[in-house]
Amino acid sequence: MRTSLLALWFVLAAASTSRAADWLQFRGPDGSAVARDGKLPDKLKINWTAELPGRGLSCPIVVGDKLFVTCASGPQQERLHVFCFSAADGKKIWERQLKATGRTMTQSKTCVAAPSPCSDGKHVFAIWSCNDLAAFDLEGNLLWLRGLTMDYPNVSNSLGMAASLLTVGGVVIVPVENDSESYTLGIDAKTGTNLWKMERPKAANWSSPVVWRPKDGTPPDVLLQSKDGLTAVEVATGSTLWNYAEGASTMSSSVATPDLILAASHGITALLPQTNGAPPKQLWRIEQMNPATASPIAVNGHIYAINSAGVLVQAAIADGGRGWKLRLKGPFSGSPVATGDRILVVNEKGLVQVVDTTAPEGAVLSELQLPLREKDLVLSTPALSGDHVFIRSDGNLWQLGAAP
Amino acid sequence: MTRILFPAVLLFASILHADIPQALRQINSLKPEGQGNEKASAAWKELVQAGPDALLPILSATGQGGVVADNWLRLAANTIADHAAKQNKTLPLQDLEKFLRDTTHDPAGRQVAFDLIHASDPAKADEIEPELLNDPSQELRRGAVQKLIASGKAALAKKDEMNAKLIFHQALDASRDEDQVKVIASSLEGLGEKVDLPRHFGFLMKWQVIGPFDNTKRSGFDTVFPPEKEINLTASYPGKTGQVKWQPFESTQDYGKIDFNKPFGLLKEVTAYATTTFDSATERDAEIRLGCKDGWKLWLNGQLVFGRDEYHRGQKMDQYKLKCHLKQGPNVLLMKCCQNEQTENWTVEWEFQLRICDATGTAILAFAK
């Protein structure tokens, strides 16, 4: 069964394109938060600034020379925006606007444009907390729409929803998990119809799914996370492949490397998936390494997490051996991203910090204060593309590059 | 005559070539769960290719296929406008203005018309906006109300209290959005006038309440307690800790909160009910707008309207907008409200607020006999 699906996967994979500098979803390549190329400059400056309306904390995504970002404006954040900017100079290429068909209530810190969009390299898929889902081509032509609260009236969360989309193998993975009518959907990227609909734990959940690409080249699986743990599902069918049922965070998302999965569970738990459908083997666990809101990141054989005190904690992926701890200037809502051996974080007040992970105790190489509008915060996770960093607040989108 | 007819025929032919009516029908035929998306997608492309000439037909088609279909149409309109701007083509602004001013058109289409005018000619939109003060669309009148608020504040700044009062009253009469009403009410209160907010919004203030029934392990949400079988205001029933019977409760709160903690105490894992009868002057469509952060269910005239088993994620006015149909005369509402087991201080609330209004948010008041 998996062999025939492997063939299918190759056919489907051919339909999507991805360039090394692309950042196609929340936390970039397969949700790893690590750029595949480029170099994060040690010192940064602002290259350009663009204005955004309303509110938004979704991650910008980069597809070739285009940058896409979502916002929501209006007294109830009922106007939903998708913007396309030129990644090179921040000029607006197009903007599309639709109206919320679901409930737009959120807690005041978060907002309707919280979940991040994603792309398969040819199309952009966007969702908002009101559970309106839209698909466009890169020129802004609408492919399809779904009003998921219209389809499933109790799909909503009065605190707001924030789980981000991902797309793999022609399927858009759409988590709409909440206390009441709780699902993750596998939606046909071409038509917007359900390929599968999976009942999920009835609990609010702001964590995002990640793709796991095993190093043996077998088709990628999607890892769904909830308060109950992690569930690996087959992309095309939504069939459950295995379950890890020891609980997981409903805020920070896990990380998958080709070798193993670093679950945001009881701190960080390293899991080795089995091929026989059995629960994964637990290799190690560090309960004290507790990511708060920000998701952990795996860089060069180490796992890093920012705890609620704003301390960046390092451990070895091989055995969970504890490394250094580096106090950063917090607080943090957005997750760290990395290129090479440099990690970049942005705190809520817009302070960008570049960390050298090779320094014996970790070291902050530079800081850059973003000029935030009054009352603006940076709650979003940056995007990386080549040697550039893209960050947004409610009111602005910035490109950062190397400072002289 | 030929000079007039020929371009008109060409124009008509080009529109016909795009088969706009068929494309609009395709979009307005969408079914749930994305059924019909493929045909709608092709139809959408056709509409966009037809360019500005398709705008009026697109706007005229709103309100017929549901809110998701309206988004397809909205996106077609704003994509056409975007392309036109890039190609230095003008939009039919006069036709859009005529469409906007005709209040028999669907509010969604009229809002798009206003947005297109605003994007192309902000000064024109600014000129039209005050005239929308009493528009049937809640969204369209907002800008006009905001202008009046600004004007009232300017009068206050000049210490012209009489004029300020007049302006704020005018704004209040037109306003429907909570944030604007709050500003207006606060300004009027500063001028010595208290606004009857419950009446303005249409909150139902007088209820009969009964409880507590059980909600251990959140089971109460699905349990059919006696009030769901009959509403007998003289009856008593076994509750969670003893016999319970109906008792009157009247909210004194500006936003009509019915607080079960007041008659029953700060309890956990309990369920209560509230009932009231709303006398409608006519048979009509309406909206019940509800705010509640506990598990809840609502019945109207014995029919379940909606329910939600979510606890302590937040509450606000108009959190849920429930379309309903009122009978002429008495309409019986029954509200079930479940408090769960959480003990954090932000989980104390066991309450709801409910108002009846039309689609513009205008209060529908009970018929006074």
Please spell the DSSP secondary structure of B6-30, one letter per residue.
HHHHHHHHHHHHHTHHHHHHHHTT-
Domain holding B299, by residue range, is 201-357
Indicate whether B366 belongs to any domain. no
Read off the amino acid at residue A388: H
Assess whether B152 and B293 both reside in one domain: no
Average pLDDT, chain B: 94
Q: Please compute the mean of the pLDDT values over residues B125-133 and round it to a whole number.
A: 97
User: Are residues B205 and B316 located together in one domain of the fold?
Assistant: yes
Q: Considering only CB atoms, which chain B residues are within 8 Å of A96?
A: 75, 78-79, 82
Report helix, strand or coil for A79: strand
Does any domain span residue B18? yes
Question: Which of A95, A151, A191 comes nearest B37 by C-beta?
Answer: A191
The closest of B324, B326, B322 to B279, measured between CA atoms, is B326
Residues B235 and B263 in one domain: yes
pLDDT tens-digit profile of B19-54? 999 999 999 999 999 999 999 999 999 999 999 999
Question: For residue A25, which phi and psi values (nearest 5 degrees)?
Answer: -165, 180
CA B341/CA B356 separation, integer angstroms: 31
The nearest CA of chain A is from the CA of B252 a distance in Å of: 25
**What percentage of chain B exceeds 90 in pLDDT?**
94
> Are B56 and B157 in a shared domain?
no
Find out whether B255 and B182 touch, Cβ atoms under 8 Å.
Answer: no
Substitution target in A98, A156, A202 with the highest count of B β-carbons within 10 Å is: A98
- Interchain contact, A144 vs B67, CB within 8 Å: no
Spell out the residues 6+ positions from residue B56 whose beta carbon is closer than 8 angstroms to its own: B92, B95, B96, B99
* Nearest chain A Cα distance for residue B346, angstroms: 13
- Token code pair at residue B84: 């036109």
**Domain annotation covers residue B2:** no
Task: List the structure tokens of A326.
Answer: 């580096």
Q: Residues of B with CB below 8 A from A94's CB?
A: 82
Contact between residue A323 and residue A360 where contact means Cβ atoms under 8 Å apart: no
Q: Other C-beta atoms within 10 Å of A234: how many?
A: 21
DSSP state of A204: -
Final residue of a structural domain among B171, B195, B219: B195
* pLDDT in the model for residue A3: 44
> Residues of A with CB below 8 A from B311's CB?
179
Q: What are the structure tokens assigned to B335, written together?
A: 């509200």
Pairing of strands A132-137, A255-256: unpaired
CB contacts, 8 Å: A99 with chain B? 67, 70-71, 74, 108
B164 band by pLDDT with thresholds 50, 70 and 90: very high
Q: Where are the alpha helices (DSSP H) in A23-62?
A: none
The reply to whether B262 and B316 lie within a common domain is yes
Question: CB B79 to CB A159 under 8 A?
Answer: no
Six token digits for residue A342:
């440099």
The domain that holds B291 is classified in CATH as 2.60.120
> Assign residue B202 a region: left if phi > 0, alpha if psi is -120 to 50, beta otherwise?
left
- B37, B48, B82: residue with CB nearest A192: B37
Amino acid at A7: A
What residue type is A148 in one-letter code?
Answer: L
Nearest Cα neighbor of B72 from A157, A355, A146 is A146
CB pairs under 8 A between A and B: 106
Any idea what the CATH number is for the domain that residue A49 is in?
2.140.10.10
φ/ψ region of A375 (left if φ > 0, alpha if ψ in -120 to 50, else beta) reads: left
Cβ atoms < 10 Å from Cβ of B245: 13
Q: Which residue from B38, B311, B316 is facing A179, i.e. has the nearest CB?
A: B311
Secondary structure string (H, E, C) spanning A227-295:
CCEEEEEECCCCCEEEEECCCCCCCCCCEECCCCEEECCCCEEEEECCCCCCCCEEEEEECCCCCCCCC
Element (H, E) at A16: none
Residues B143 and B213 in one domain: no
Residues B232 and B340 in one domain: yes
Q: Is pLDDT of B275 > 80?
A: yes
Distance CA A399, CA A376 (A): 17
CB contact under 8 A, A150 and B40: no
| Same domain, yes or no: B120 and B167 | no
Q: Cα Rg for chain B, rounded, in angstroms?
A: 26
What are A108-157's pLDDT values in tens digits?
A: 999 999 999 999 999 999 999 999 999 999 999 999 999 999 999 999 99
What is the token pair recorded at B133?
């003060």
The answer to whether the CB of B23 falls within 8 A of the CB of B59 is: no
Task: Search chain A and give the residue with CA nearest B44.
Answer: A142
Residue A331: asked if its preceding bond is cis (omega within 30°), the reply is: yes
The secondary structure element, H or E, covering residue A206 is none
Residues B352 and B274 in one domain: yes
Within chain B, strands assigned E span 206-214, 236-238, 243-245, 247-250, 258-259, 270-280, 284-292, 295-300, 303-308, 320-326, 329-339, 351-357
CB contact under 8 A, A142 and B75: yes
**By the 8 A CB rule, do B305 and B324 touch?**
yes
Q: Give the Å distances, CA to CA, from A379 to A62, A67, A163, B63, B250.
A: 19, 18, 14, 37, 42
Residue B264 pLDDT exceeds 50 = yes
Q: Provide the token pair at B71.
A: 């988004």
Q: Has residue B237 been placed in a domain?
A: yes
Interface of B with A (CB under 8 A): 32-35, 37-38, 40-41, 44-45, 48, 66-68, 70-72, 74-76, 78-79, 82, 108, 115, 142, 177, 179, 293, 306, 308-311, 313-316, 319-320
pTM of the model: 0.94
pLDDT at B369 over 80: no
Compute CA distances B123 → B81, B117, B118, whole Å.
Answer: 18, 9, 8
Q: Indicate the residue of A141, A159, A179 with minimum beta-carbon distance to B45.
A: A141
Distance from CA of B22 to the nearest CA of A (A): 18
Pairing of strands A255-256, A240-244: unpaired
My answer on whether B22 and B150 are in the same domain is: no
Last residue of some domain: B166, B195, B224? B195
**B274: helix, strand or coil:** strand
Under a CB-based contact definition with an 8 Å cutoff, are residues A59 and A116 in contact? yes
Give how far Cα A338 sits from Cα of A32, A345, B165, Å: 9, 9, 58
Q: Say whether the peptide bond before residue A280 is cis (omega within 30 degrees of 0).
A: no
Among A92, A99, A190, most B C-beta atoms within 10 A, so best to mutate, is: A99
pLDDT in tens, chain A (404 residues): 454 444 444 444 444 456 768 999 999 999 999 998 888 999 999 999 999 999 999 999 999 999 999 999 999 999 999 999 999 999 999 999 999 999 999 999 999 999 999 999 999 999 999 999 999 999 999 999 999 999 999 999 999 999 999 999 999 999 999 999 999 999 999 999 999 999 999 999 999 999 999 888 888 999 999 999 999 999 999 999 999 999 999 999 999 998 899 999 999 999 999 988 899 999 999 999 999 899 999 999 999 999 999 999 999 999 999 999 999 999 999 999 999 999 999 999 999 999 999 999 999 999 999 999 999 999 999 999 999 999 999 999 999 999 99
Per CB-CB distance under 8 Å, the chain A contacts of B74 are 97-99
B171 and B148 in contact (C-beta within 8 Å)?
yes
Do B166 and B89 lie in one domain? The reply is no
Q: What stretch of H or E contains B217?
A: none
Q: At B7, is the pLDDT very low, low, confident or very high (cuts 50, 70, 90)?
A: very low
* Domain that residue A213 falls in: 2-402
* B68 with A193: Cβ contact below 8 A: no
pLDDT band at B17 (very low <50, low <70, confident <90, very high): low
| Residues B204-232: tens digit of each pLDDT | 999 999 999 999 999 999 999 999 999 99
For the record, the structure tokens of B327 come out as 């009978």
3-class DSSP state of A211: strand
Domain count for chain A: 1
Determine, yes or no, domain membership for B43.
yes
The H-or-E segment that residue A44 falls in is: strand A44-51
The string over B286-311, giving b where at least 16 C-beta atoms fall within 10 Å of a residue's C-beta and e elsewhere, is bbbbbbbbbbbbbbbbeeebbbbbbb
Q: Last residue of some domain: B195, B213, B233? A: B195
Instruction: Give pLDDT, residue B87.
Output: 94
**Cα B175 to the center of its chain, rounded Å:** 13
Closest alpha carbon within chain B to A131 = B68
pLDDT at A292: 87
Tokens of A113: 């444009």
| Percent of chain B's residues with pLDDT above 70 | 95
The full DSSP string for A285-329 is: EETT----SSPPEEETTEEEEE-TTSEEEEEETTT--EEEEEE-S
- Please tell me whether residue A309 adopts helix, strand or coil conformation: coil
Q: What's the domain count of chain B? A: 3
- For residues B119 and B157, state if they share a domain: no
